[in-house]
Structure 1
């Protein structure tokens, strides 16, 4: 095209944009407010629809919302799970503050229909986050009769599961330990029961959960891939209520209610003994294994006065698992969260939170001549202060900070009986992490909103500690240790710090459509040293030190979001690119357990991940559900100073979490009154594996020859689960509900891992290990009274 024509086109475009910019727009005013329950609690995640215009908005953690509207009269419809819908008329002629009070559902009504809130919030700066409430979770098909938070997360865009029979998950090319998994603000270092067949979350007392995978607020830190923020409900204030549930392998009980007009409580207990169900599995090791778990929750909430509330949430669990003739595993989680919420004014709130999380595990060898007990664990303590200020025009300000202490026991091996093993113990690993943050959500114009945040974090590795010094230019290893630096108790071994800027930008194309962009930098000072797909009891948690630098990730994301009028449908499309630094991989034949020179078996490099995520959801009607499709890639590059510290010749190779295609389809069909059929189909590309391309003989033994890491793939993964759910039947004050599910309906033998079988005189042959290779039916029945 001639340059003159291009110049004319550009000139016309400039004039058109200028004319559009100068077109007078009606003045808009800020309608903001708070959504509360009638008992005073601010309700996070309440969904409001404002008509005319069909604007949808969600309340934040403080129960606050804000939206720009032209002068006029509007109808606000507010919905919240377990609450009666509220409709109010509001006249907007200036900036206006309102307070909406929701009441509990009136159980005397025949039926109260509360529509699902959309996944896509087009009017906020939030992107890369997905919200699921307890009601939707309980409808999803179940494995062994129990709804599972972690397994349901893998049905969301940008998330893939760690493998068949596990509830671990990977987010946008990151590893399992790069996800911060919370229960009422307390982190979990192993969120699995029975190696992943169950998660630690009791679905009967769940309030809601949200997964943040981009656009993460500066309020969150400590992990570089995602935040899974799970909230448990409080005890009800009306009367004592009880719930009993049974499934083929488990039983559970919960009770909640008021102890006084100011104090409520909730207790819940679960236990499972899946021995006879495990005999249905085709895998011989699983068939002959045994396991059990129990867990319990307790929660108190005390309302001192209208401005002060104190709450406590506690959790304890214990697991046991035994493989035939070999090894037993035991692990425990103990969590506690003490929270004080204070209302300084209607526009200024504060929350002080004390967090404790303790994880301990024990591995016991029972083979004759090799008896041993291996104990390890991690202890975490944190104090957090979070404040929210809403008094500035067109600003919503959040700020605060936290201080945390990590104490890791990497393990002690204690032989007993006729064992020939030697007793060994590694020194403990201690560190301090502190941070400060500020986040401001600014309304720039009637269509543009910016959320800008800055987090500053600092970490100090603390003695006592012996740190090895290795010869320069040589691979790290025992033979290349030239000195040992000894640090006393309380001495600072190494310090790391850095800024973590975050921002998200929203531009509204229409009232129902928006474009969003975001950038975030995240830092992580604790890492999981593991060569397995999912978190297991034998994994090693390790703090950053002189040899292990913090993991850092930079992520940029761009998205398009749409919600149809009346919120019947919503659609989102996001693309992202991540750059990761100080990523960990392992030397061939690395020793990870009880290794005093662990850093000598670790390799460090860079990573990059990119992808595109689509999600279409139908929220109303007889058929609801969603389709989620993700295309993504994840690579690592390990190029050390020597050949022994280099992988794949220094060229990029697929990470262990690289699964390019991930498709999930979830449907919820209203068959007839009180009966619903749900189905979930998932498909993912097979996980990368390193396999031998040839074998050779040397001195009478067979050895494998590997040409590159993760150059082959396991078979693709796909599975269909179905569930028939009976909605609640009410008989006076008693409620009944139940479900029948089939996990892996068509019996797909998905590969969990790839192993080799040795045959005399021949090269080993590869075969896949399938943990669940048959349909697994289950039934669940609940009674509330």
Structure 2
């Protein structure tokens, strides 16, 4: 249905364009934006004197159609000096712009790579986020955070107070592919979500793709968060120290030789004394810590080759007052070789390793145990970019992934009466090939057409159960057991993932865009919590769990004034979801060998309208974003036990219809800026008991339909005062003061029940942060 509708819209737009003829001769200006070391810069912002703007792509390439004559072009990239040049066109032309690192000893015009929506490209639903602006946003406990910044964008809502998990356009947290230098992360949180794994001091760029996703991306059905770390400074060694109320960090980067640069950073947090200030007794009596480290090396032997390595390790520990401790760690590594075959043909080969481990320890007398689980991903990618055909930018390549999942290993200890249990390891292969072409047909019409093919195989050794037909799945309904040897194929899935988008320019500064995409996901998180936690279970698709599929259709209007001072975006979307996972009442998710018997499967849909207006220049900058959206699920099984809400659609756990975000950044006086961020969202759906009854001396709850009630609406105001970097001699200082939750709103994180003897249990809300949280941060660079 969505494919047919998209084709009708595409045909209509094409006919409108073909009916018009260009009023003057246009020529194609294409080129590459490079850094001082020859690295290709993604997200460089180019402004032309006629008001057109364009962003460079992953390969640093750009292309724009301009009338004959001389045009002034300004190229901007964060951390580098602005580049200005005149270009004369009387034929198609190719250029190369090289930017140099900004000399901080000179007083230069501040240039930042703003959050820019390129209305002249086919991209939609993608947001480039300014790292410098992120560091000025009000902070929780003094630390700027990528994931918290992402939740201020249209179509994105937070998983809850104090968490850095996020939901995009009606999808769950595990439906977001979160990357660090191309390596996927299976848990991007520190301290259960108070911080993310990204060190803000070493970021290069980060992009969120919500729709119009290129065929080069996949493996998740909601969004792609692509985060890149900067390379080491090729000119000189520099050092940076930062401190906030609970974190300390140190980074260094610079040249190791003429051809090698290095970036290294470490960070740690010990928040125990701060946790004593929270109103929740559970938090007051808890303890925790985390530390992480990054290492990035880049070797450039010549102009046509470069080799880079990016490594990351993190470790978290948390102890709740009930004598249970949680530990989790991430180990990432990516090795990338980039080769320039010619100025119009590039290639990359990337090897990736991502290991995520959990450990839960029970310390209560008689219940001592250790529970271990984790995910191990090995991945190889090859990608090419070809720019030699007029009006085309072609990306193609493939990747192969091996997933190894340890779902759980329970080891009793001490005086424990528990029995040991080890669930069978899971293995699966995913292979992908793709091609994507950015096509410029004329001044007004351009297309992006892509096709991705994915194939997944669940491998043995494996044990699977056969359930009696016509009965609800349960342990009692198992009638046979199938065994698969090592390397044998248990189940395979495959399918095409078409992607397409079209841009029609109404004027040089405004356009309409239409996009369609199909995405597939073969790994899912089995969790009944809002955010990703250490006790969640990752599960591969198998005979009983089919891959998740999403079809999304988006239509948007994009406008920017000639000086890019103001931008306006309006986008509407509809998303159809297949093979969505939900749970039976009272489901057992942990250490369950027949987990599929407690799972329910159905479809869903999500739709919404997103508005955003931004002011990029002047003393006052910022944006207002407003989203109205719905996210619904429908579980209608063969039996009543496998059906939710009588088979009628019901709100998903992430259905928050109204989401308003207002961010302002005001230049008070030289070197000082005031920022404020206000967020309002509809309360999250919950399932509550509407009555209680006694049976054989016990109180039982009678619940209303699934997710038919809502927690109170959420709203919060954060403010900060930031000291811009100032240099005294060879030392540069910056810092700020933030107040998170300025007016002390006690937002509900979850609903719980309290039992008083002789009375039915009463519901109450749990607030994680119910008071203003002030903090200060200081950074010194030398």
Equivalent position to 1:275, from 272, 276, 283: 272
TM-score when normalising by structure 2: 0.97
Equivalent position to 1:698, from 681, 695, 714: 695
Equivalent position to 2:434, from 426, 432, 437: 437
Number of aligned residues: 769
Q: How does 1:466-477 map to 2 (within 5 A)?
A: 466-477=463-474
CA distance in 1, matches of 2:509, 2:115: 12
Displacement after TM superposition at 1:114 (Å)? 1.2
Partner of 1:145: 142
Question: What CA deviation, in whole Å up to 9, does each residue of 1:22-44 have, x standing for no partner?
Answer: 66621211100001112211111
Displacement after TM superposition at 1:81 (Å)? 0.5
CA distance in 2, matches of 1:20, 1:401: 35
Q: 3-state SS of the aligned residue for 1:367?
A: coil
Query: CA-atom RMSD, angstroms?
Result: 1.2
Partner of 2:771: 774
CA distance in 2, matches of 1:134, 1:518: 28
Cα distance change of structure 1 residues 104 and 513 upon mapping to structure 2, 3 Å threshold = same
Equivalent position to 1:21, from 19, 22, 26: 19
Q: How does 1:20-59 map to 2 (within 5 A)?
A: 21=19, 25-51=23-49, 53-59=50-56
Partner of 1:594: 591
CA contact (8 A) 1:116 1:620 kept: no
Q: 3-state SS of the aligned residue for 1:760?
A: coil
Displacement after TM superposition at 1:248 (Å)? 1.1
Displacement after TM superposition at 1:509 (Å)? 0.4
CA distance in 2, matches of 1:95, 1:175: 46
CA contact (8 A) 2:48 2:72 kept: yes
Cα distance change of structure 1 residues 250 and 19 upon mapping to structure 2, 3 Å threshold = closer
Partner of 1:4: none
CA distance in 1, matches of 2:298, 2:344: 23
User: Is 1:554–2:551 an aligned residue pair?
Assistant: yes
Cα distance change of structure 1 residues 24 and 752 upon mapping to structure 2, 3 Å threshold = closer
Q: How does 1:500-649 map to 2 (within 5 A)?
A: 500-649=497-646
CA contact (8 A) 1:118 1:570 kept: no
Q: 3-state SS of the aligned residue for 1:276?
A: helix
Displacement after TM superposition at 1:180 (Å)? 0.2
CA distance in 1, matches of 2:610, 2:623: 13
Q: 3-state SS of the aligned residue for 1:566?
A: coil
Question: What CA deviation, in whole Å up to 9, does each residue of 1:709-764 have, x standing for no partner?
Answer: 00000000011111110001101221000111111111111111000001111111
CA distance in 2, matches of 1:373, 1:83: 50
Question: What CA deviation, in whole Å up to 9, does each residue of 1:231-254 have, x standing for no partner?
Answer: 000000011100001111111000
User: Is 1:219–2:216 an aligned residue pair?
Assistant: yes
Partner of 1:88: 85
Partner of 2:179: 182
Partner of 1:483: 480
Displacement after TM superposition at 1:572 (Å)? 0.3
Equivalent position to 1:261, from 258, 262, 282: 258
CA distance in 1, matches of 2:698, 2:22: 84
User: Is 1:669–2:666 an aligned residue pair?
Assistant: yes
Partner of 2:749: 752
User: Is 1:493–2:490 an aligned residue pair?
Assistant: yes
Partner of 2:415: 418
Q: How does 1:354-503 map to 2 (within 5 A)?
A: 354-503=351-500
Of 492-501 and 441-450, deviating more is 441-450
CA distance in 1, matches of 2:590, 2:754: 25
CA distance in 2, matches of 1:303, 1:565: 39
CA contact (8 A) 2:180 2:229 kept: yes
Question: What CA deviation, in whole Å up to 9, does each residue of 1:43-69 have, x standing for no partner?
Answer: 111000011x21000000100000011
Q: 3-state SS of the aligned residue for 2:147?
A: helix
User: Is 1:765–2:770 an aligned residue pair?
Assistant: no
Cα distance change of structure 1 residues 23 and 545 upon mapping to structure 2, 3 Å threshold = closer
Q: 3-state SS of the aligned residue for 1:565?
A: coil
Question: What CA deviation, in whole Å up to 9, does each residue of 1:316-359 have, x standing for no partner?
Answer: 00000001132100000000000000000000000000000000
Partner of 1:120: 117
CA distance in 1, matches of 2:243, 2:442: 54
Cα distance change of structure 1 residues 203 and 22 upon mapping to structure 2, 3 Å threshold = closer
CA contact (8 A) 1:133 1:207 kept: no
Partner of 1:249: 246
Cα distance change of structure 1 residues 18 and 197 upon mapping to structure 2, 3 Å threshold = closer
Cα distance change of structure 1 residues 18 and 356 upon mapping to structure 2, 3 Å threshold = closer
CA contact (8 A) 1:50 1:56 kept: yes
Displacement after TM superposition at 1:521 (Å)? 0.1
Cα distance change of structure 1 residues 430 and 671 upon mapping to structure 2, 3 Å threshold = same
CA distance in 1, matches of 2:149, 2:114: 17
Displacement after TM superposition at 1:18 (Å)? 9.3
Q: 3-state SS of the aligned residue for 2:563?
A: helix
Displacement after TM superposition at 1:119 (Å)? 2.4
Partner of 2:62: 65
Q: 3-state SS of the aligned residue for 1:136?
A: helix
Question: What CA deviation, in whole Å up to 9, does each residue of 1:110-169 have, x standing for no partner?
Answer: 243215534221011000111112111111111111001011100000000000011000
Partner of 2:95: 98
Cα distance change of structure 1 residues 696 and 313 upon mapping to structure 2, 3 Å threshold = same
CA distance in 1, matches of 2:186, 2:296: 21
CA contact (8 A) 1:116 1:619 kept: no
TM-score when normalising by structure 1: 0.97
CA distance in 1, matches of 2:16, 2:625: 39
CA distance in 2, matches of 1:64, 1:436: 22
Q: Which runs of 5+ in 2 are unaligned?
A: 1-11
Partner of 2:71: 74
Equivalent position to 2:158, from 155, 158, 161: 161
CA contact (8 A) 1:115 1:620 kept: no
Displacement after TM superposition at 1:368 (Å)? 1.2
CA contact (8 A) 2:114 2:128 kept: no
Displacement after TM superposition at 1:683 (Å)? 0.4
CA contact (8 A) 2:738 2:776 kept: yes
CA distance in 1, matches of 2:502, 2:34: 28
User: Is 1:726–2:723 an aligned residue pair?
Assistant: yes
Q: Which runs of 5+ in 1 are unaligned?
A: 1-13
CA distance in 1, matches of 2:390, 2:245: 56
